[in-house]
Amino acid sequence: MVASPPLSVRGARIAFGDRVVATDLALEFPAGRTTCLLGRSGVGKTSLLRWLAGLLPGTERAEPLAYMAQRDLLLPWLDILGNVLLGYRLRGDAAALRAAEPRARALLTEVGLGDRLGDRPDALSAGMRQRAALARTLCEDRSVVLMDEPFGHLDAVTRLELQDLAARLLAGRTVVLVTHDPLEALRLGHQVRVLAGTPFTVELPIEPSGPVPRDASDPELLALQGRLIAQLRSAA
């Protein structure tokens, strides 16, 4: 993989319809690092991510990237391997599709689905489906990855497992991960940034010490979690 680029936002105005989510926004996402955007529901985190992905009307994204949503978005008529290779199938480049297949298989083995390649998504549990979606995101092999509450609807233990897996597999990429869970942000983020207000502003980065994924029972992390919750509360 080529060195991941940083991602910068300068003087951006994010709006759709009459709703202005952010004005004159300046943000820097450091290269090869995971930045977690934390905020309460409705603050505009998802809009920011969709803006970065070029999914809002009239926007263009800065560079090729991979996008992972809260729902797994697996296509029910394709098997798991077919879903992981979806990007290559859609782009219709047969040579690239053939070249990507061994990597898709390897990624599925890494996420623990090596023996489920031929299964349809509806045969898998929610956690397995989200792992397949993670494999699909990584199979795109983009240096920039955007994730929108990717583990939001999973049970606590499955969520911790997937966070560990994601942290390991996303290492070296420029990742922007949106979440409303302070602990998730602190476990996965090299940087955590809190979004608050309408239109929102972004607070100064918080950089917990140590490599990711961090231990959820670390006292420093728990102290930071308390501070973040207080910060999110006062912002309301």
Partner 1 sequence: MRPLITAIGLLLAWEALAWATGVPVYILPPPSRVAVVLVERFDLLIEQAAWTAAEMILGLVLGLILGAALAVVFAASAGWRRWALPLVIISQAIPVIAIAPLLVLWLGYGMASKVAMAALVIFFPVVSTLYDGLRRTDPGWLDLAQTMDAPPRAVLLQIRLPAALPAFASGARIAAAVAPIGAVIGEWVGASAGLGFLMTQSLARGQTPLAFAALVLLCLLGLALYHATDWAARRLVPWQSPQGE
Give CA–CA dist 158/223, Å, rounded. Answer: 24
* Token pair 């952010």 in the structure block, residue: 22
C-alpha distance from residue 137 to each of 24, 159, 190, 221 (Å):
30, 17, 20, 28
Residue 79 vs 164, nearer CB to partner 1: 79
Phi-psi region of 214 (alpha: psi -120 to 50; beta: other; left: phi over 0): beta
The residues binding partner 1 (CB under 8 A) are: 50, 53-55, 61, 64-67, 69, 71, 73, 75-77, 86-87, 89-92, 120, 122, 140
State the nearest-atom distance from the C-beta of 132 to partner 1, in Å. Answer: 13
Residue 36 vs 65, nearer CB to partner 1: 65
Helix (H, G, I), strand (E, B) or coil at 153: coil
Residue 92 vs 102, nearer CB to partner 1: 92
Which two three-digit tokens encode residue 87? Answer: 């990007």
Residue 59 vs 231, nearer CB to partner 1: 59
State the nearest-atom distance from the C-beta of 7 to partner 1, in Å. Answer: 14
State the nearest-atom distance from the C-beta of 169 to partner 1, in Å. Answer: 18
State the nearest-atom distance from the C-beta of 210 to partner 1, in Å. Answer: 32
Residue 222 phi, psi dihedral angles, 5° rounding:
-65, -35
